Amino acid sequence: MEKALKRWFPLFVLPTLVAFIIGFIWPFIQGVYLSFCQFTTIDRTTFVGVQNYVNAFQDAEFGSAFRFTVSFAVVSTILINVLAFLLALALTQKMRGTNIFRTVFFMPNLIGGIVLGYIWQILINAVLSNLGQPLLALNSKAGYWGIIILMCWQQIGYMMIIYISGLQNVPGDLIEAASIDGATPLQTLFKIKLPMVMPSITICLFLTITNSFKLFDQNLALTAGEPAHATEMLALNIYNTFYFRAGPQWKGIGQAKAVIFFVLVVAIALIQLRATRSKEVQQ
């Protein structure tokens, strides 16, 4: 089989491989290299060593974007997962209409970030103006909570679906056994259901954390970082560094920031992966 298939390499692998090289591998390698260069176009580069990294770390906006992103990621991850889990618990009970509710709660997840951002901008601005508060473009606090509400709205349904499938995989006998053993519903929840859906929890945590860190479209559409970069997250900060800052050094710094960002995301992914693995061993 292996032998017969080997000859078909050009047909089976080459299209994907070429596209993968053009679309990912080459830009990635180039990206790493360029982070050590000063350049405005890729054809004209000057090697500057780690200068870009030094500048990136000294960039106050980058620092504030980092703090904003972390704070956003922590709050949104907790909120989304707690709410999604509660929703999943409720919607796995015997109740009329659970399927419709699931459908409804999941739906925002399908709408793109740009559109979502725009819809919520209209909504939040309407609320703010009715309350006599400054609008989003001038109101960093509203911007922060706006993105969180928006992300909750979009992601709760998604995580809820994962939790529901986790909860449905808890064997019914186990719940029955627990109730015969005298466990109260609350004890069943914490001692049986919660440990059994641990894999779902790790998956959801992973997804929400990485989604939060990589967030771009929603950030751009809702606040575009206004006012004065106060609600700018890492991805948007990198984007702005590349395309909206004057001066020959900024593209290089942007690329250096991108590498830092990449390392950060990979580190989070690895930590998360290790956590998942250790959970798997336990089961």
Partner 1 sequence: MASVTLKNIRKVYPNNEKKKKSKKGEPVKKTNLKVTKEGVLAVDDFNLEIADKEFIVLVGPSGCGKSTLLRMVAGLEEISGGDLFINDVHMNNVAPKDRDIAMVFQSYALYPHMTVYDNMAFPLKLQKMDKAQIDKLVREAAETLDITQYLERKPKALSGGQRQRVAIGRAIVRNPKVLLMDEPLSNLDAKLRNQMRAEIIKLRKRIDTTFIYVTHDQTEAMTLGDRIVIMKDGVVQQVGTPQELFDHPINLFVAGFIGMPRMNVFDAELIKDGGKYAVKMGKVVVDLDEEKQARLAAKRVEPQSITLGVRPEHLTLESTGGPMLHGTVDVYEMMGSEIHYHVTVEGKDVIIIVPTIGMKDVVPMGSDIPFTFGGNVVHIFEKEKGTNLEF
Partner 2 sequence: MKKKNGIGLLGTIFFSVLAALYMYPIVMVVLNSLKVETAISTSGAFELPTGETFAGLTNFVSAISSQGFLKSLFYSVFITVTSVGLILLCCSMCAWYINRVHNLISKLMYLLCAFSMVVPFQMVMFTLSNTADKLDIFGLRFNNPYTICFIYLGFGAGLAVFMFSGFMKSIPLEIEEAAMIDGCSPLQIYFKIVLPILKPTMISVGVLEAMWVWNDYLLPTLVLDIKKYRTIPMLIQYFRGSYGKVEMGPMMACIVMTVLPIVIIYIAGQKHIIKGVLDGSVKG
Q: Which is nearer to partner 2, 28 or 190 (CB)?
A: 28
Residue carrying structure tokens 């959801």: 204
| Residue 3 binds partner 1, judged by CB under 8 A | yes
Q: Which is nearer to partner 2, 27 or 63 (CB)?
A: 27
In the list partner 1, partner 2, none, the entry touching 45 (Cβ below 5 to 8 angstroms by class) is none
Q: Which is nearer to partner 1, 1 or 60 (CB)?
A: 1
User: What is the closest distance, in whole angstroms, from the C-beta atom of residue 137 to partner 2 in the complex?
Assistant: 11
Q: Mind giving me the DSSP string for 163-181?
A: HHHHHHTS-HHHHHHHHHT
In the list partner 2, partner 1, none, the entry touching 169 (Cβ below 5 to 8 angstroms by class) is none
Measured CA to CA, the distance from residue 180 to residue 169 in angstroms comes to 20
Pull the structure tokens for residue 164.
Answer: 């529901």
Residues contacting 139, CB < 8 A, separation 6+: 128, 133, 227
In the list partner 2, partner 1, none, the entry touching 173 (Cβ below 5 to 8 angstroms by class) is none
Q: Which is nearer to partner 1, 1 or 186 (CB)?
A: 1
| Residue 7 binds partner 1, judged by CB under 8 A | no
Cβ–Cβ under 8 Å, residues 183 and 192: yes
Phi, psi of 245 (to 5 degrees): -115, 135
Question: Under rule CB under 8 A, which residues in 167-226 are in contact with partner 1?
Answer: none
Residues contacting 218, CB < 8 A, separation 6+: 113, 114, 116, 117, 147, 150, 151, 154
Q: Which is nearer to partner 1, 7 or 96 (CB)?
A: 7
| Residue 4 binds partner 1, judged by CB under 8 A | yes
User: What is the closest distance, in whole angstroms, from the C-beta atom of residue 91 to partner 2 in the complex?
Assistant: 8
**Chain residues in the site for partner 1 (CB under 8 A):** 1, 3-4
